[in-house]
Amino acid sequence: MASPSLLLLGAGNMGGALLRAWLGKGAIAAAKSAVVDPNPSIPVLELCEAHGVAVNPAEDPGYDVCVLAVKPQMFASVLPTLDWPRIAETLFLSIAAGTTIETIGHLLAERAPGARVVRTMPSLPASVGRGVTLLCEGGRLRGGDRDVATALMAAAGETYWCRDEDHLDRVMGVTGCSPAYVFLLAEALTDAALAQGVGPADARRIAEASVTGAAAMLAQDGRPAAALRRSVTSPGGTTQAALSVLDDETEGLRPRVNAAVEAAYARARELAS
Ligand SMILES: NC(=O)C1=CN([C@@H]2O[C@H](COP(=O)(O)OP(=O)(O)OC[C@H]3O[C@@H](n4cnc5c(N)ncnc54)[C@H](OP(=O)(O)O)[C@@H]3O)[C@@H](O)[C@H]2O)C=CC1
Ligand SMILES: O=C(O)[C@@H]1CCC=N1
């Protein structure tokens, strides 16, 4: 399929980030696409205006793809109201945490019986083309649907097809949630700089530059994270002393990150029920 016409339902943090990636890469047919959101932000309005994307159109001409980017709690009230010509032919991509393909199918059943639904879990760095999106499907896709979904999400960064929904729920704590862990690290380093007597503006500047510098090196160097970590850590030096705290076997970062990913999985299960 050439770039699909697309309806984005919900242009908040994540929907807006994806829209920016798609328009930047020409991944959607902008003039045939639309955004529906009760309060679109100014950056979203400017983006739509620049690319000729309709915002809250009075009439829907119909769309090849509809991306469901509202909060999971909104699905039950919003999905049954969706309607446009040939809606039963539209491919649906959900980005919501938890909500299952079966639930989405039920909510669309009146107007789009047997809807083809792909569940995805993108991540916020999609806004700079550096996201990671997990995808999975429920067995109803037609030939070409998988390629359409992959191409859309590849415009926002890396993609990975999970074997099923449970797998997606398990891995999302590694991808969709993890930008927050990295931002938290930047916050913690800023706090640590403050605690060592650095002024607030400089504390933020040197902490954030430390995180983005390490991330840029990880992206460009080619060596795996473990090798880069070893190259910072002089035997018997200061980093080794620091890592003896941060990389403690039972209370350090690795078991805590594992526990965080498990907590995200548990919450995804709750949102699904
Ligand atoms: N944020 C993230 O990093 C990620 C989020 N997700 C998923 O993305 C989805 C959205 O999350 P996020 O972007 O953070 O949330 P936001 O609240 O930022 O975005 C949701 C948007 O939907 C709008 N909205 C509310 N009601 C409707 C409606 N009836 N029709 C159309 N739009 C509506 C909201 O408007 P208003 O604010 O006025 O209510 C808001 O702009 C969630 O399902 C979440 O699980 C997935 C991966 C990562
Ligand atoms: O916190 C959430 O539920 C969403 C999904 C992943 C990132 N944000």
Q: Tell me the CA distances in angstroms from 33 to 15, 59, 145, 184, one per residue in order.
A: 14, 12, 18, 35
CA dihedral 121, 125, 128, 129 (to 10 degrees): -40
Question: For all residues of the chain together, what is the average pLDDT?
Answer: 97
Distance 152 CA to ligand 2 centre (A): 20
8 in contact with ligand 1, CB cutoff 6 A? no
Average of per-residue pLDDT across 235-251: 97
Name the residue ranges covered by the structural domains of the chain: 6-171, 178-272
Average of per-residue pLDDT across 233-242: 98
| pLDDT band per the 50, 70, 90 thresholds, residue 250 | very high
| Residue 2: per-residue pLDDT | 87
Per-residue pLDDT of 184-221, as tens digits, reads 999 999 999 999 999 999 999 999 999 999 999 999 99
Read off φ and ψ for residue 244, nearest 5 degrees: -65, -25
CATH class entry, domain 6-171: alpha beta
Cβ 82 vs Cβ 9: under 8 Å: yes
- Counting residues of the chain whose pLDDT is more than 70, the rounded percentage is 100
125 in contact with ligand 2, CB cutoff 6 A? no
Distance 230 CA to ligand 2 centre (A): 32
**Predicted complex ipTM:** 0.98
Distance 183 CA to ligand 2 centre (A): 14
| Residue 197: per-residue pLDDT | 98
Any known ligand binding at 39? no
CATH class entry, domain 178-272: mainly alpha
| Residue 273: per-residue pLDDT | 82
Per-residue pLDDT of 10-68, as tens digits, reads 999 999 999 999 999 999 999 999 999 999 999 999 999 999 999 999 998 899 999 99
Per-residue pLDDT of 123-161, as tens digits, reads 999 999 999 999 999 889 999 999 999 999 999 999 999
| Residue 60: per-residue pLDDT | 87
| Residue 14: per-residue pLDDT | 97
Take residue 182 and report the two structure tokens written for it.
């990295």
pLDDT at 178 over 80: yes
Any known ligand binding at 193? no
Q: Is-same-fold flag (6-171; 178-272)?
A: no
